[in-house]
Structure 1
Amino acid sequence: MRLNPKSQTAICYLLHFAQPYHHALHYLGSAVDLEARLARHAAGNGSRLLAAVAAAGIPWQVARTWQGGRDLEAQLKKRKSNPSLCPICSARGTASAPAQRRRGNPPPRHPANHPFAEKNYES
C-alpha cells in the first residue's frame, strides 16, 4: 500500500559539492522520499543543476537535513545563505561569519547518526 504523499513527512536537504560548479557549491531541495530523490540526483536526472554537476563529474554529499517540506525550502532559499547553513563549509571556515550573524541561527539539523549523514554520492 502506497501512502498519500501529502500525509508523509517531507525532508528539506542541503547538498554540498566537492568543488564549485560555476557559481554553485550547494543545492537546497525537499522531498517526501529522500532516498529516491537522492538516487535521481545521483543518476543526473533530479534537477538541472545536479544533472550539470553529474556531467562535470563533481561528487556531492548530503550536508544537512531538516524536517519540513517546500515551505521550509522556500524560507531557507529566501535567506540566500547556503554556505552558512552548511556544516562542511562552517568546519572549513568558508562560511561567511557576518552572514551567519546577520541571519541568526539556522534551524536544527539531524544528528550525525542520521541515515543520510556523511554519505558521498559520485556521478
Structure 2
Amino acid sequence: MSEKDDGKVRLDKWLWAARFYKTRALAKAAIEGGKVHCRGERCKPSKEPKVGDELVIRAGFDERTVVIQALSAVRRGAPQAQELYRETAESIVRREQAAAQRKAGALGVQTDGRPTKKQRRQLQQFHGGQGD
C-alpha cells in the first residue's frame, strides 16, 4: 500500500480511522450534514485536521467534544483508535447526564397505552369529527 503520509489526512478519513463511523462514506455524509464541527464551524470532508483541533461530533442522542491527539489514515483496533483523540471532561459529564435522563424517561412522554373505546369516542367528539 503506497501511501504518501506526510502528516496530512482528510477529516472524513480521520473520523473513520478513529472509529467514530463504520465507513468513510458515513463519515463524509455526517460532515456534509453538519453533524461535525471543527473549531466551532461547519467543515468539509476534505479539511485537513491538525493535532490540537477541537471537534464536536453529534451522533444520535450523543454529542461528543474531542481534541485530536494524533493523526492517522489507517483504521486499526479500538484501543489504538482511542489514542487518536481525547474527549473533554465537560463532554463526558454532559453525555452521562443525558443518558441518565433518557434512562429515567424524562425526555419521552409516558402514556397508559392505547385509548379505550370510550376515550376514542371522546377524542373524536373533541376534534369535531363523527369518525366514519
Q: TM-score range by the shorter chain?
A: under 0.3
Larger RCO of the pair (alpha carbons < 8 Å, separation 6+): 1
Greater per-residue strand proportion: 1
Indicate the structure (1 or 2) with the bigger Cα radius of gyration: 2
Q: TM-score, normalised by structure 2?
A: 0.26
